[in-house]
Amino acid sequence: MFEGKKNLYILSAIAIFLMIGAGVLLGYLQENQRLSQTPVKVVAEPMPGVDSSATEKKVFTVRTNRVYLPEKVLDYSSILIPVEKAEFETLPKDTIYGRRLYRSSDGFEIVNMVVLMGADRTSIHKPQYCLEGTGWRIDKSEQVLIPMDKPFPYQLPAMKLTLSGYLVGQNGEKTLRRGVFLYWFVAPDKMTAEHKNRMWSVAAHRILKGEIERWAYIIYFSTCSPGEEDAVFERMKVFIRESLPEYQLVPKAN
């Protein structure tokens, strides 16, 4: 049916139109992105950063806003943990952070970290990569439900990783430590402990609603001596029940 150069020119013209059209459309979409609401509370307070690799540690401001994390929870007081320069430089520029180290009156410590994505989904990645990169070994992965009572009773789905690692003392002696690492992902209208559910949801939301669904990655982490993992997990659950409703906006109260 289509023979000769005339047909070739017609087909080539259509192909060129498709290619240029795609370029123009993608350029437009890149410039006109619509973001969803944030699933966590963001406050206009500076987020500090630090360059630990430098001979003199330099503290600087990473962003002028951060995810709100309460300063005091139960009998825990807290300090801000700065974002490492290398991490800040690697992740997309519109990533918003929140991190605090909480210490109770008896010395028990919990780290709470939040990473809120902007327009780029690569702000959030699987914790498995970082943990193994920082010397922790994942002994066990399990999905758990944490009973919450605010804003109403519900079960929070979380991934619980039990970790092992060695703490190196000043004289080079190694002490075996365990870690309890809890994480989950939250979007403006949903929560999941599964990385793949988040990925599918981001894709479906973008295609079906034309909007970038903003997810936050929430972490609670504590370390302990071998054998204390269950007790630590129980203390973490009590802590999460108090601290999380202060900044996670999902589920919404009716």
Partner 1 sequence: MSANAESGTKGSVLSSGVTTCGAGFPFLGIGFGLLVLWATLFHLTGNSTLGYIKSHSLFVWWYEVMSQSVRGHGLGALLDGEDALGWFIPLIVIGLLYWRFDDLKAIEKKPSWLGVVAIGFAVLLHICGFLVQQTRISIVAFFLGVYGITGLLWGRVWMKETLFIFALFLFCIPLSGASDVIAFPLRVWSTTLSVKIASGLFGLDIIQQGTLIFDSSGRYQYEVAPACGGIRSLTAIFVLSLCCGFIFFKSIWKKVLLVISALPLAVAGNVLRLLAIIFAAELAGQEAGASVHSSSIFSLLPYLPALIGFWILTYWLGDEIKRKENLK
Site for partner 1, rule CB under 8 A: 2-3, 7-8, 11-12, 14-16, 18-23, 25-27, 29-30, 90-93, 95, 120-123, 129, 202-203, 206-207
CB of 29 to partner 1, least distance (A): 7
Give 20 or 74: the residue with its C-beta nearer to partner 1. 20
Residue 28 CA to residue 18 CA, distance in Å, equals 15
Q: Are strands 58-63 and 47-51 parallel, antiparallel or unpaired?
A: antiparallel
- Sign for the CA dihedral angle at 185, 186, 187, 191 comes to positive
Structure tokens at 126: 């699987």
Give 132 or 234: the residue with its C-beta nearer to partner 1. 132
Give 27 or 226: the residue with its C-beta nearer to partner 1. 27
CA torsion, points 43, 86, 59, 216, in degrees to nearest 10? 10
CB of 204 to partner 1, least distance (A): 8
CB of 24 to partner 1, least distance (A): 10
Cβ count near 211 (within 10 Å)? 13
In one-letter notation, the amino acid at residue 107 is G
Give 29 or 35: the residue with its C-beta nearer to partner 1. 29
Q: Which residues contact 17 (CB under 8 A, 6 or more apart)?
A: none
CB of 242 to partner 1, least distance (A): 32
Spatial CA neighbour of 115 closest among 197, 203, 39: 39
Secondary structure letter of residue 81 according to DSSP: P
CB of 182 to partner 1, least distance (A): 21
Structure tokens at 252: 């919404």
CB of 147 to partner 1, least distance (A): 29
Structure tokens at 74: 């139960």
C-alpha 89: how far from its chain's center?
16
Give 23 or 135: the residue with its C-beta nearer to partner 1. 23
Give 4 or 107: the residue with its C-beta nearer to partner 1. 4
